[in-house]
Structure 1
């Protein structure tokens, strides 16, 4: 059997699968986010350990689940977080998370140095790791001076599990310190941001071993000491492994707190000016592209809070049959935006509201606005040489048939739903644990799931949505960012 551990923003999930890749059991433990100031987002790494222990203990205590049979463990995690350790591996401050944009000025400063885009293949976004360390250097110099190691969130869990300072390529690609083509740390980028190579963890591929489980923890959970812990992956790359999105033309759309259009690529295809992320994949000699929007299902959740109704109720009220767009336009920049605008200070808006505008019209506008943002991501991705034949839909928003049909129609590509099963990041992490032990061909392990349903583009509405998309695009430049 194989264990996948996914450290998310809202919780830790542990998943157990057998040799036939059947999910035996899973358990989750919740996490909370602290936001002590506007634009800040932090978590205490000790909470990650407590949540992981709780999830694994729940697995251990379930009847019929024998963790002693686990042969490999894979890790997945939220990306970009800066976990700062001193020389004794003690945490120096709360981890600065992926959706923390306090370092927007530092990100712009680093991005102005052309070698960052040239070597990392990406814009230096405020959510990435390197600008966070520059912010710490300028605002918390005592902590910066004590920093002996910088670990990404899942790699701090690895340190606890194995005692090793190790990361892997897909997660490291989101730091702005990785030579993404060469799959190694860049001394030039580290020096340009005031860091050193000895402050970085060692690097392995996601499907190779990174260490073994410490005896103390093995005894606690009834596992074997030294159980192989694979390199693992950042959350989106792990989800891609779980979905079998590993070769050119494979893609998925994630409708979670944030939104992602993900395309696997058979080669490295950077185009930083598009704001598309060009990252290493979790498997050797593979890469992927991502367009990322910062508010997806969370935009509907925000509107639900405003109306005092649940997101499910709002979705149910508009039915399942996609209608022509309303006159209301929603810009979904509730937390700024990444692809393609790269502006942490963009703000959202409703326009076109009149006396006849009701809750249903505004709900549809929210879904349309997020979908238009996803279309901008697909256009940016295609401009960078990527392509998708179809998009598998994942995340909480994938429960809405209306939204999936809308995405297929607006983006002009089929949107698919996998047959019942758990194909998320924890499952992908377990697959990487399996690969690290068995040295199998990834193509034999990372297969695509059976498709239960497919939503084809509704071509009779294409012209109407094209016009609404043009209206959406025309509105964005008129919106002034905070502080600009």
Structure 2
């Protein structure tokens, strides 16, 4: 038996699977986010640990026999969060999260202090990453920075509590700004730019490797009878890729969640910093991945639903399963700034092309199309970096909307496959990595794709119309960038 634990932003989720990867039980515990100032986003690491204990307890109560036979645990987690610990591994301040935007000035300072940083890191330094957060703490909370002896990512703080080990995997570490992503090792030059060194970093392991053993007291607490290995695990998107089977080069998925991700696995390190593509290590050895990231995917339709006093499902269902033509209205989904391809925390969205005929349906369709066009931006950026894909899995809450998937498929001109069967998210991918670590198994043999429940094909006629609409969208995006500047 194997457990996967995903340390998310809104909840901690756990899944218990058997040797054949059948899901036996799941559990979830909600989390809250603190926003003490505009642009700030924080969580108490203790809340992650309390929630982890809660979900493990829930599995133990519902599946006591299976829990006795657990051999491995894998971890997935929200990336980029900064957990600052002192010499005794005590938390010094609330963790600064991935969606915190306070450190824009520190990004510029880091790149000025280390001109080769983009080459080493393979990414534009953004406020969401970990390194600028530490520079911000150094400037604004110098007493905290002076006491910092160890910096961990969210899932790795949970690992510390589970095992007593300080370790991280390559995929999560690749999002800090301190990793030489091609070499899969900490970069002394990048650390020096942040006034840190290797002593502040955890040791590195591959996601499918053993990072430590579960503390015996915790095994006893949850009724586990033998030694339990804890796998390196992965950042949330890399772990989700392991869950969906996107581990071989050329495999891809589109995630329509709160934020949006276009993820493609590669056999090489292939950065495209000019278009704010994320080029990171994968959670499996000798593999990398690229991501285009948009910050407001389902968040955009949830925002519109609140304005109309409705719910998102009602808005999208009213459109039917397909649209006949693009909406005359345009929407740019930059409600919280944007990453790929603009890298502008201050960018804001907007509607254009509204006339007296505009109504709930046309504005809803415009929002769905605007998110799809943002994915098209990501696809163009990945193509410029030399990364292609023929089809993609569709995952996330937005993938439950047939009309949205049909729009995205036509805008991208790619078939989208819906996975059949069990959950394929970060917790399931982490459980698969636990199998690899505990059984010394090949990740390519463990992290196989699921069956296909349905395929949404692009509509050729609609795709042609969307090509023209996408050109209009790019004009709108350029205008909004000028306003933001």
What is the match of residue 81 of structure 2?
Answer: 81
Shift of 1:224: 3.8
What is the match of residue 249 of structure 2?
Answer: 248
Maintained 8 Å contact 2:347/2:484 = no
Maintained 8 Å contact 1:340/1:377 = yes
SS of residue paired to 1:66: helix
What is the match of residue 157 of structure 1?
Answer: 158
1:118-148 CA-partner distances (Å, limit 9, x unpaired)? 1111111110000000000001101000101
What is the match of residue 346 of structure 2?
Answer: 345
Shift of 1:323: 2.4
Shift of 1:52: 0.8
What is the match of residue 54 of structure 2?
Answer: 54
Alignment of 1:102-141 (within 5 A): 102-112=102-112, 113-141=114-142
Shift of 1:65: 4.9
- Equivalents in 2 of 1:35, 1:363: separation in Å? 29
What is the match of residue 469 of structure 1?
Answer: 470
Maintained 8 Å contact 2:191/2:197 = yes
What is the match of residue 98 of structure 1?
Answer: 98
Maintained 8 Å contact 1:345/1:482 = no
What is the match of residue 166 of structure 1?
Answer: 167
What is the match of residue 266 of structure 1?
Answer: 267
1:406-443 CA-partner distances (Å, limit 9, x unpaired)? 11100011111011321111010000000001111222
Alignment of 1:362-401 (within 5 A): 362-401=363-402
Q: How many residue pairs were aligned?
A: 484
Maintained 8 Å contact 2:272/2:381 = no
What is the match of residue 181 of structure 1?
Answer: 182
What is the match of residue 232 of structure 1?
Answer: 233
What is the match of residue 18 of structure 1?
Answer: 18
- Equivalents in 1 of 2:121, 2:167: separation in Å? 19
- Equivalents in 2 of 1:306, 1:146: separation in Å? 46
- Equivalents in 1 of 2:227, 2:121: separation in Å? 34
Shift of 1:270: 1.6
Hey, which bits of structure 1, 4+ residues long, moved more than 2 A? Answer: 63-66, 111-114, 480-484
Shift of 1:64: 5.7
SS of residue paired to 1:114: coil
Maintained 8 Å contact 1:82/1:133 = yes
SS of residue paired to 2:116: helix
- Equivalents in 1 of 2:290, 2:301: separation in Å? 26
Q: TM-score, normalised by structure 1?
A: 0.98
Q: TM-score, normalised by structure 2?
A: 0.98
- Equivalents in 2 of 1:174, 1:276: separation in Å? 12
Maintained 8 Å contact 1:134/1:193 = yes
- Equivalents in 2 of 1:250, 1:206: separation in Å? 18
Structure 1 unaligned spans of 5+: none
Shift of 1:322: 2.1
- Equivalents in 1 of 2:43, 2:66: separation in Å? 31
Structure 2 unaligned spans of 5+: none
Shift of 1:219: 1.4
Shift of 1:483: 6.9
Shift of 1:326: 1.4
